[in-house]
Amino acid sequence: MKLSFLSAALVSIGLVCSQAHASVEQLGLSHSYQASTPTVTDTLGYPVGSRISSPEQIYTYFQALAEAHPEQIKLRYYGESWEGRPLFYAIISSAKNIAQLDDFEANMQRLADPRQTSEREAKQLIESMPASVWLSYGVHGNEISSPEAGMLTAYHLLASPNAETSEYLENTVVFIDPLQNPDGRARFVSRYYMTVGLEHSADRISAEHNEPWPNGRSNHYLFDLNRDWLALTQPEIAGQVEALLNYYPLLFIDLHEMGGDMSYYFTPEARPYNPLITESQRESLWKIGENNGRWFDQEGYDYFTREIFDAFYPGYGASWPLFHGTLAATYEMASARGHKFRTVDGDILTYGDGVQRHFIASLATIETAAERRQALLQDFWNYRSMAIELGEKADDRVRIIADQKDPAAARKIAGLLRRHGVDVMASDAQFKACGKTYPAGSYIVDSAQPAHFMVRVLLDQQIDMAADFLAEQEQLRANNLPDQIYDVTAWSLPLMFNVETDACDKLPRVAMSAVSSDLIDAGQVINPTAKVGFIVPWGDMNAGRFLAAALRQGLTIKRTDLAFTHANGQRYPAGSLILTKAENGEELASTVVQLAQSTGAKVVGVDSSWVTDGPNFGSVNVKKLHAPNVAIAWDEPFSSLSAGHSRFVIEQQMGYPTTAIRPQQLARSDLSHYQVLIIPAAWGNISAAFGEAGVENIRNWVNRGGVLITMGTATQWAIDSDLLASAREKSAEQKSEPSHGSEKRVAGKIFHDHAELAHYIEADNPDPYWTSGVLARAEVDQDHWLSAGVKDEVISIAVGNHIYRPLTIDHGRNIVSFAAADRVVASGYLWAENQQQLAHKPLLMWQPASKGMVIAFTQDPNYRAYFDGLNVLLMNAIFGGAAHATPLR
Ligand SMILES: [Zn+2]
């Protein structure tokens, strides 16, 4: 590979930032680049790498490229961001490959499915098809250099007439998604240029280098999009996944930025390894890294591999594609977080430096794809074939999802699996499998399919880290050193949705139909011409969405605190909704039919209000629901993730609006317009943000009938503010040594062995050991309106080190408590002493306060918006809480 012309062209980008009269295009153009390709300067008026381009500018540039080279580049759209910006990718290849793009897509689908394609056909495809590589830039909006590198890479591929580039494009179809998170980038760019003075500051304490809340990393709903590849709740990732499943690119690279004092990271990845990533995949990733290393050596760039950034969790962009047989990896560049940044060594890192390195890494990767074309296609075919064989042999070959108690969640899992590229069937009739009988409509997933690994990584209850890795972690802890487990160690979809699944070793003999990717089935109304009214059985999100929509339409709705049996013989669970014609008028029937259709609810019309067991419609145990105005505390010091996730779940999954309010206004304003206030988790000091008067304002509001809901670590603030009579626990580990004290002269002490020393230097009175996220079982007290319609057992995240003392019965109720130590871990890895201490501790507490109440979740139920199994509980807290509070109305 001859790099000389490139080096000359590109080393200059770094200069561009300080001397705005030189640019890569101008320097390289006269002898290397063809003039017919528009440069960034031509289109946007400034040299590439000299300004942090806005999303609109990036889009404009790609449109200019597409207009100039219609035979070599196509733009495709996969959606729209929440703020209305286009989500798109470019396909770049030789004119011949672009002309045959439809064939390429169809051929890749054939190669991806050995059930439809013979070995011989596959051989022909492998010999003749181009390889493919998908480069995704800028998923974190404040990791700024990679989208600019996406523009430069596209420019280079189209403008360079040299033989190497032509060869790449003959052998490879290159997909470039330059802007995975346009809303986050827009937030960063607008704020950055707002803070710049006469000169751009390189100082890490300058306003340029410190983003206000919320920073540009996340999207509009403040999600970390690089955790959304499991639940696919955000358009930026859901749309990208749909596009990837059209082409099954052989390589997928997610290009990020990291701390500005580091160098550059690329594959191979760090431990712990996900055991569902194959040895062959790991070897190929190694080769991608090796070729990157060669290019970086030529340019004289530092880099590192393997030490950080693991792919254990499948919810990252750089891990999800691996489970379809794509080679996926993350690249990370030291971030200038602006035009320039002074490193700890005193060097100046520029924006252009980042653009350059990401560009070189992009080209190196494209070269790997081109040079290994046939081997990569062969590996992909082998992977998809082996996946089917593994499924055929597995004891748990067939997964059956048939949850009678929560059909909404079962339907959502089935639709979600389809969106992940997994084939899912529904039985046309009742059937028997492995000794159990299942009703018609049960979902069946045969893991003997090319997406076998995706089935397992999403549905398996437990995925283990290697025993030697775990032993090392325990050793580190024993030596008072931090462990290396990152993020979460569990994510099983059925657990997070709290849906039961079964496994069987063979396919049941029953007629089946393919399932669509819809997440909600249309609901139905039984007896729509009912004389008296309608009942909606409570317990799943179909009913939940119905409730939110009905309240927004201004309907009068009652909710029962106790289960009852209607004269028609049907039993309805606590929480069930009652809508009468007497209160809603004759047009109620048509409204209910339309609401059932859109929300998925199953509604039963009744011709009489007669109840044979449990409360009648007019009982004190049947409460009128008032449409509450829901506020969410917003801005510093709250976790933007917790605030954003809460807002998203309530607005987009339940369908109910919220109002975001900053602490200053919460502290000073009359809050009587609001009936529910949600305090998201926070790492900072909530008490300081509210001030004493603010806490007093909120306490008065609660006493006058407000429903205060705390999420995760915000529960500690409720305790500190005397709103909740619980306490946060220290570690339960008993120390044999007395406290060290802070004396400057102490009595002499003899250590007999190293263990005594290790014990002695432990901190006094430590918090429980910090844990990465696991899935924890919790038991539900069924005898309270807050648990109406909720299953006996729920699954929650357990992350961090907050463990709380239960409420005593004179103060309130512990509605949901973690299970016993031997059962508490449903999935993941939790330190033994945390299992002991977490057991029987509260997940959800309820404490009445005068006319209002405090409802405290000790872990965030909206974590990443993927604990669907906790949504009914949250709806009970918001809508049931507002119904049970007694403000002056
Ligand atoms: Zn990132």
Token code pair at residue 507: 């396919």
Q: How far is the CA of 201 from the centre of ligand 1 (A)?
A: 23
Q: How far is the CA of 138 from the centre of ligand 1 (A)?
A: 8
Q: How far is the CA of 768 from the centre of ligand 1 (A)?
A: 29
Give tens-digit pLDDT for 708-722: 999 999 999 999 999
Give tens-digit pLDDT for 420-437: 999 999 999 999 999 999
Q: How far is the CA of 362 from the centre of ligand 1 (A)?
A: 16
Residue 300 has pLDDT above 60, yes or no: yes
Residue 8 has pLDDT above 60, yes or no: no
Stretch 835-853: mean pLDDT: 98
Residue 246 has pLDDT above 90, yes or no: yes
Q: How far is the CA of 256 from the centre of ligand 1 (A)?
A: 4
* The dihedral sign for the CA sequence 491, 492, 494, 500: negative
Stretch 733-742: mean pLDDT: 63
Residue from 601, 579, 629, 532 nearest 789 by CA? 601
- What pLDDT, on a 0 to 100 scale, did the predictor assign at position 738? 56
Stretch 504-512: mean pLDDT: 97
Phi/psi-derived region of residue 89, left when phi > 0, alpha when psi is between -120 and 50, beta in every other case: beta
Q: How far is the CA of 220 from the centre of ligand 1 (A)?
A: 16
Q: How far is the CA of 395 from the centre of ligand 1 (A)?
A: 38
Stretch 138-154: mean pLDDT: 97
Residue ranges of domains in the chain, CATH in brackets: 62-388 (3.40.630.10), 394-514 (no CATH), 524-625 (no CATH), 630-731+750-884 (3.40.50.880)
Q: How far is the CA of 311 from the centre of ligand 1 (A)?
A: 14
- What pLDDT, on a 0 to 100 scale, did the predictor assign at position 760? 81
Mean pLDDT, the chain, whole residue set: 94
Give tens-digit pLDDT for 156-185: 999 998 899 999 999 999 999 999 999 999
Q: How far is the CA of 47 from the centre of ligand 1 (A)?
A: 25
Q: How far is the CA of 178 from the centre of ligand 1 (A)?
A: 14
Give tens-digit pLDDT for 101-137: 999 999 999 999 999 999 999 999 999 999 999 999 9
Stretch 460-466: mean pLDDT: 97
Q: 741 falls in which pLDDT band (50, 70, 90)?
A: low
Helix (H, G, I), strand (E, B) or coil at 154: helix
Q: How far is the CA of 266 from the centre of ligand 1 (A)?
A: 13
Q: How far is the CA of 295 from the centre of ligand 1 (A)?
A: 23
Instruction: Produce one character per residue of 519-538: b if its CB has 16 or more CB atoms within 10 Å, e if not.
Output: bbbebebeeeebebbbbbbb
Q: How far is the CA of 143 from the centre of ligand 1 (A)?
A: 6
Residue 566's φ and ψ, nearest 5 degrees, are -80, 160
Residue 310's φ and ψ, nearest 5 degrees, are -95, 170
Q: How far is the CA of 218 from the centre of ligand 1 (A)?
A: 10
Residue 229 has pLDDT above 90, yes or no: yes
In this structure, how many other beta carbons lie within 10 angstroms of the beta carbon of residue 593?
Answer: 16
Gap between the Cα atoms of 450 and 448, Å rounded: 7
Type of residue found at 746: V
Q: What letter does residue 654 receive in the DSSP assignment? A: I
Q: 53 falls in which pLDDT band (50, 70, 90)?
A: very high
Give tens-digit pLDDT for 576-595: 999 999 999 999 999 999 99
- What pLDDT, on a 0 to 100 scale, did the predictor assign at position 740? 60
Work out the angle at residue 780's Cα, subtended by the Cα atoms of residues 779 and 786, and round it to the nearest 5 degrees. 155
Cis ω before 147 (30° cut-off from 0): no
Q: How far is the CA of 321 from the centre of ligand 1 (A)?
A: 17
Q: How far is the CA of 215 from the centre of ligand 1 (A)?
A: 13
Residue 22 has pLDDT above 70, yes or no: no
Residue from 535, 226, 603, 233 nearest 412 by CA? 233
- What pLDDT, on a 0 to 100 scale, did the predictor assign at position 706? 98
Q: 33 falls in which pLDDT band (50, 70, 90)?
A: confident
Residue from 17, 333, 318, 7 nearest 145 by CA? 333
DSSP line for 579-619? EEHHHH-TTHHHHHHHHHHHH--EEEEES---EEES--TTS
Q: How far is the CA of 310 from the centre of ligand 1 (A)?
A: 13
Q: How far is the CA of 142 from the centre of ligand 1 (A)?
A: 8
Q: 25 falls in which pLDDT band (50, 70, 90)?
A: very low
Q: How far is the CA of 140 from the centre of ligand 1 (A)?
A: 5
Q: How far is the CA of 412 from the centre of ligand 1 (A)?
A: 29
Give tens-digit pLDDT for 357-395: 999 999 999 999 999 999 999 999 999 999 999 999 999
Q: How far is the CA of 213 from the centre of ligand 1 (A)?
A: 17
Q: How far is the CA of 144 from the centre of ligand 1 (A)?
A: 10
Q: How far is the CA of 437 from the centre of ligand 1 (A)?
A: 47
Q: Which residues contact 738 (CB under 8 A, 6 or more apart)?
A: none
- What pLDDT, on a 0 to 100 scale, did the predictor assign at position 511? 98
Q: How far is the CA of 333 from the centre of ligand 1 (A)?
A: 9
Token code pair at residue 844: 């959800």
Q: How far is the CA of 309 from the centre of ligand 1 (A)?
A: 11
Q: How far is the CA of 440 from the centre of ligand 1 (A)?
A: 45
Q: How far is the CA of 257 from the centre of ligand 1 (A)?
A: 5
Q: Which residues contact 513 (CB under 8 A, 6 or more apart)?
A: 425, 426, 428
Gap between the Cα atoms of 630 and 610, Å rounded: 35
In the sheet that 172-177 helps form, which strands lie side by side, from edge to edge? 73-80, 86-92, 172-177, 131-137, 251-258, 327-334, 264-265
Q: How far is the CA of 175 from the centre of ligand 1 (A)?
A: 20
Q: At what angle do helices 373-393 and 101-111 cross, to 10 degrees?
A: 40
- The CA–CA distances, whole Å, from 622 to 342, 477, 558 equal 65, 53, 6
Q: 194 falls in which pLDDT band (50, 70, 90)?
A: very high
Residue 777 has pLDDT above 50, yes or no: yes
Work out the angle at residue 269's Cα, subtended by the Cα atoms of residues 266 and 273, and round it to the nearest 5 degrees. 170
Q: How far is the CA of 334 from the centre of ligand 1 (A)?
A: 11
Stretch 510-539: mean pLDDT: 97
Q: 736 falls in which pLDDT band (50, 70, 90)?
A: low
